[in-house]
Amino acid sequence: MRRHFRQDTVKLSNGLAVHYHEWAGQGPNLIFLHPSLGYGRMFEFMADAMGDRFHVHAPDQRGHGRTDKAAGDYSAQEYTEDLATFMQELGIDRAILVGHSLGGRVAQVFAARYPQRVSALALIAGPHLSNFYGTRESAQSVLEGACSTISHPDEFKSKEEAYAFMRPRKPFTHDPDAALHHRIEHNYVHIGDGRLIPRYDKIRVAQGLAHLSNNLRPYAARVECPVLIMRASLGAALSREQADEIARFWRNAQVVDVEGHYALQFENPAGATKAITRFLSDTGVI
């Protein structure tokens, strides 16, 4: 069943105008944080699956969607302060954070810096190994990914051209067709002559991707809330053994396998939602 949502833009005290989607609910606050090249509305299928059990917000993070592409270093630390100000502006004292990739990095740092404001943390497709085991090879991969993002076209002549670009490329490779069409519909500006312009700033996104080599171990050690690592069971980025090992960096973390390759919010929203609600129930958060 599709849930009604509203969207709005709030001007933060740091000057950043943040666009967000909101699904009103009866339960605790839950904030979805999207990955690089993503946008808040990409979580609408999970919000639908949750019903009204949670009051959900899904912002477009800086450099993405309809939010400002402001100057900055685009580190997880900077995004964290955006989130803290966003929550303050909307009167959200405490929330469950669910983050994917970039959003997961932001959630990890936020939970460490503001432990009293986070009741639980869930990481879609798990954390990045490069943030915990920095190697020369992982640094090369991070920089190659950033460079690849810089090469994204500034515009597409048609929806078909945008689809053809995304279909064979990471991180879109395993997205269902419906997900790619969702991206095309909501993550691009549609010009009257059929052209599409990405809503994300590819330079700012690449700048953020370069921080994938930053060491997040010290932040994990400071997180007080329960942590859920949702390993994408069909993906190659994180084996079960690696996930179990990386979970030890937190005081209270558990790993669950969810069928999918990467973007579980598109590939398996029902499975991801079930894993989160079970985790929150088992840990006494709900």
**Is 272 among the domain residues?**
yes
What span, in angstroms and rounded, lies between the C-alpha atoms of 267 and 234? 11
**Is 17 among the domain residues?**
yes
**Token pair 């669910």 is at which residue?**
98
Position 247 scores a pLDDT of 97
pLDDT in tens, 179-231: 999 999 999 999 989 999 999 999 999 999 999 999 999 999 999 999 999 99
Instruction: Output the average pLDDT for the chain.
Output: 97
**Is 75 among the domain residues?**
yes
The first and second tokens of residue 205, run together, are 């996104």
**Token pair 């020369």 is at which residue?**
136
pLDDT at 8 over 80: yes
pLDDT at 111 over 90: yes
What span, in angstroms and rounded, lies between the C-alpha atoms of 201 and 37? 9
The first and second tokens of residue 275, run together, are 């894993």
**Is 186 among the domain residues?**
no
pLDDT at 1 over 80: no
**Is 32 among the domain residues?**
yes
pLDDT at 3 over 90: no
Mean pLDDT of 88-97: 98
CATH number of the domain residue 250 falls in:
3.40.50.1820
Mean pLDDT of 4-18: 97
The conformation of residue 23, written as its DSSP 8-state character, comes to E
Mean pLDDT of 16-39: 97
Mean pLDDT of 227-255: 96
Position 2 scores a pLDDT of 85
Q: What is the pTM of this model?
A: 0.97
Q: Is 192 exposed, middle or buried (0-12, 13-18, 19+ CB in 10 A)?
A: exposed
- Which range marks the domain in which residue 222 is found? 6-132+215-282
Count CA atoms within 13 Å of residue 211 on its CB side.
Answer: 21
pLDDT at 256 over 90: yes
Better pLDDT: 203 or 134:
203
**Is 182 among the domain residues?**
no
Q: What's the helix, strand, coil split of the chain in %, to 5?
A: 45, 20, 40
**Is 163 among the domain residues?**
no
Count of domains forming the chain: 1
3-state secondary structure 118-152: EEEEEEECCCCHHHCCCCHHHHHHHHHHHHHHHCC
What span, in angstroms and rounded, lies between the C-alpha atoms of 260 and 189? 29
What span, in angstroms and rounded, lies between the C-alpha atoms of 212 and 215? 8
Pairing of strands 196-198, 188-190: antiparallel
At 40, the amino acid letter reads: G
Burial string for 82-102 (b: 16+ CB within 10 Å, else e) reads bbbbbbeebeeeebbbbbbbb
What span, in angstroms and rounded, lies between the C-alpha atoms of 80 and 97? 12
Phi/psi for 130 (5° steps) reads -65, -25
Position 113 scores a pLDDT of 98
3-state secondary structure 151-169: CCCCCECCHHHHHHHHCCC
Pairing of strands 227-232, 118-124: parallel
pLDDT at 161 over 90: yes
**Is 197 among the domain residues?**
no
At 257, the amino acid letter reads: D
